[in-house]
Amino acid sequence: MVLEQLQKRIEAVKERIEQAITHPYLCRYMNPRMIDEDRIAFSLSMLDAANIDRNIAEDYVFTMMLIQIALDTHDEVDEHEAMHLRQLTVLAGDLYSGLYYQFLANNHGMALIRLFAEAIKEINVQKIRLQRGNVDAIERFRCLGTIESALICKLAQYVNAENWSEFAYYFFSLKRLSDENKKEKAVADYVEHCKRKLNDLLHSQPMHEDMKGRLYHLLDQST
Amino acid sequence: MMKLKAMYSFLNADLNKIERELEASIQADDPLLNQASLHLLQAGGKRIRPVFVLLGGQFGTYDFECIKHVAVALEFIHMASLVHDDVIDNAKLRRGKETIQSKWGNRFAMYVGDYIFARSLELMANIKNPLAHQILADTIVEVCRGEIEQISDKYRFDQNLRRYLQRIKRKTALLIAASCQLGAVVAGAPESIHRKLYWFGYYVGMSFQITDDILDFIGTEKELGKPAGSDLSQGNVTLPVLYAMEEEALRQSIMQVNEATTASEMKELIERIKQTDAIEKSYELGERYLQKALSILQSLPRNRAWNALYNIAKYIGKRKY
């Protein structure tokens, strides 16, 4: 029952995001944006555990996901050789950034504006570090962990659920690295490290069954 | 003609502080990001948005320590959009300096733009008045929609004047309008005042962009920092083009412009456009917007900011580059 409920809420947040980012001209030329369900599930679990009102929690997750999609869209800029698509990719990301600010501004989310802005700054600093390339494996994993979890960590800070930050860091690091070549020793070692951390944290964290299922799936997938 | 800076010399001390705030506020935990940000700041610019914010603030209770956040935030938003615009246009030079995308690549430029935009919102978070955030957020979204519209309208020669005006409103006028209004809002000016400042900024912005579009035809490469007629060669249908298209023969030639049009073909076309009354008619429309701005100004209380706004409006209508 609870599992069904969470999935319904995830779908509802996804639908809201899809509606918000729909733009007739962008839709005509760009592929639909990927919306990471795990991120929504994780955030809703965290906010429920922090006793945040359901509607408010969904608002927070909706806003955070708009930022995530904006940043992810800008990561794709170099993937498009065609000038027109590259131009639209830049502008789509900018539009989604504007939309998250508009939502918070209209819902008096001043404190969240600051926290999310801090996260975006941090994420872009780490992306620049990664892009420069002169980082060792450990530093690279740290950068990736921050890039993947900074927004959720700021949300955790906002709702006084900082105990979820470490969990978010390792969960999304593992998710990011699960696609990488684990034959490389440094990656394989770090994946094992993330899994150990997540196994330790799993028992100290009350969470929805659906979220647990996603976590087990990720742990299995990374083996 | 009076120099732009001399029109608001009473703000000099505060504008110098804004310049220092810009430098201090953009500092990041990464040397390359710092280098790029400084590169942007040193490329200069008229800082017209901070000027409008500070002038708008003079119509309320002017508190520099509060209003500076808005002034710096608006300049950062403008800078971030320029960095991304250079990726969109694949521009190699801006104000005679190499662009971020040319120097460090597209991806890096995207990250720098996103970083600066986030920094601007972080500064805005110092402002507790929700109306200020609503005005700015609505402006940002409209500006983005306008930029998408500009892309969708490229090489579309069947568009009308209304479409052009809507586009330049979103491209330029809204941010200038918001600058004027936000200064007053943050300074606690009554709605009757900050609404008027919005419309003043809006009309000035419209006039400013029309002048910009005219200068793209009549300016020299040295003055413009890019070849004359660049807008048309990139498929941007601006006011002089719309007016020139009223002449049937020219209309047919303009409609042939596409990405493959050569520089010499373009040069010839620009000369033909300049020989029509398109430039003159464009100036007339720009002047009409300017008069609207000045008319709004008449209903605002007289103070030294009023004089500055009056002179700036006049300057914008007559600027040569």
| pLDDT greater than 90 at residue A14 | yes
Please state, in angstroms and rounded to a whole number, the distance separating the CA atoms of residues A35 and A96: 13
Task: From residue A115, give the alpha-carbon distance in Å to each of A32, B67, B124.
Answer: 28, 21, 12
Tell the CATH superfamily of the A2-221 domain: Farnesyl Diphosphate Synthase (1.10.600.10)
Mutate to test the interface with B, among A21, A96, A100, A102 (most CBs of B within 10 A): A102
| pLDDT greater than 90 at residue B107 | yes
Query: What percentage of chain A carries pLDDT values higher than 70?
Result: 96
Residue ranges per domain, chain B?
Answer: 11-128, 129-321
Cβ of B137 under 8 Å from any chain A Cβ?
Answer: yes
| pLDDT greater than 90 at residue B285 | yes
Comparing B96-105, B186-195, B264-273, B311-320, which segment has the lowest mean pLDDT? B311-320
pLDDT at position A207, please?
80
Q: Is B156 left (phi over 0), alpha (psi -120 to 50) or beta?
A: beta
**Beta-carbon separation of A91 and B148 below 8 A:** yes
Comparing A65-69, A213-217, B283-287, which segment has the lowest mean pLDDT? A213-217
Cβ of B144 under 8 Å from any chain A Cβ?
Answer: yes
Nearest CA in chain A to B83: A90
**Beta-carbon separation of A23 and B152 below 8 A:** no
Mean pLDDT of chain A: 91
In the CATH hierarchy, which fold is given to the domain comprising B11-128? Farnesyl Diphosphate Synthase (1.10.600)
| pLDDT greater than 60 at residue A38 | yes
Topology agreement, domain B11-128 and domain B129-321: yes
Residue of B225 and A139 predicted with greater confidence = A139
**Beta-carbon separation of B28 and A93 below 8 A:** no
pLDDT at position B132, please?
97
For chain B, state the CA radius of gyration.
Answer: 20
Nearest CA in chain A to B144: A95
| Residues whose CB falls within 8 Å of the CB of residue B188, separated by 6 or more in sequence, listed in order | B60, B61
Chain A residues with beta carbon closer than 8 angstroms to that of B147: 91, 94
Residue of A221 and B101 predicted with greater confidence = B101
Please state, in angstroms and rounded to a whole number, the distance separating the CA atoms of residues B283 and B318: 9
| B253-278 residues labelled b (16+ CB within 10 A) or e (exposed) | bbeebeeeeeeeebeebbeebeebeb
The DSSP symbol for B60 reads S
Chain B residues with beta carbon closer than 8 angstroms to that of A116: 121
Give the one of B106, B140, B147 whose C-beta lies nearest to A77's C-beta: B106
Chain B residues with beta carbon closer than 8 angstroms to that of A80: none
pLDDT at position A3, please?
60
Contact pairs from chain A to chain B, CB under 8 Å? 136
Q: Long-range pairs for B265-274 at CB < 8 Å and ≥24 separation?
A: B266/B229, B266/B232, B266/B233, B267/B229, B269/B229, B269/B232, B270/B217, B270/B228, B270/B229, B270/B232, B272/B244, B273/B217, B273/B240, B273/B241, B273/B244, B274/B217, B274/B218
Task: For residue B157, give the nearest of B226, B91, B223, B238 by alpha carbon.
Answer: B238
| pLDDT greater than 70 at residue A4 | no
Tell the CATH superfamily of the B129-321 domain: Farnesyl Diphosphate Synthase (1.10.600.10)
Residue ranges per domain, chain A?
Answer: 2-221
Chain A residues with beta carbon closer than 8 angstroms to that of B146: none
The model's pLDDT over B55-77, given as tens digits with 9 standing for 90+, comes to 999 999 999 999 999 999 999 99
pLDDT at position B320, please?
59
| pLDDT greater than 60 at residue A1 | no
| pLDDT greater than 80 at residue B220 | no
Residue of B228 and B91 predicted with greater confidence = B91
Cβ of B169 under 8 Å from any chain A Cβ?
Answer: no
**Beta-carbon separation of B122 and A125 below 8 A:** no
Instruction: Summarize the confidence of residues B142-164 as an average pLDDT.
Output: 94
pLDDT at position B72, please?
97
Mutate to test the interface with B, among A72, A121, A129 (most CBs of B within 10 A): A121
| pLDDT greater than 70 at residue B225 | no
Give the one of B32, B87, B128 whose C-beta lies nearest to A90's C-beta: B87
The model's pLDDT over A40-86, given as tens digits with 9 standing for 90+, comes to 999 999 999 999 999 999 999 999 999 999 999 999 998 767 889 99
- pLDDT band at residue A153, thresholds of 50, 70 and 90? very high
Cβ of B63 under 8 Å from any chain A Cβ?
Answer: no
String of DSSP letters for A128-191: HHHHH----HHHHHHHHHHHHHHHHHHHHHHTT-GGGHHHHHHHHHHHHHTTS-TTSHHHHHHH
- pLDDT band at residue A2, thresholds of 50, 70 and 90? low
pLDDT at position B168, please?
94
Chain A residues with beta carbon closer than 8 angstroms to that of B136: 101, 105
- pLDDT band at residue B111, thresholds of 50, 70 and 90? very high
Residue of B39 and A52 predicted with greater confidence = A52
What are the tokens at A209?
A: 């069954």
Chain B residues with beta carbon closer than 8 angstroms to that of A90: 84, 87-88, 110
The model's pLDDT over A182-195, given as tens digits with 9 standing for 90+, comes to 678 888 899 999 99
Task: From residue B108, give the alpha-carbon distance in Å to each of A85, B81, B103, B111, B281.
Answer: 18, 14, 9, 5, 42
- pLDDT band at residue B246, thresholds of 50, 70 and 90? very high
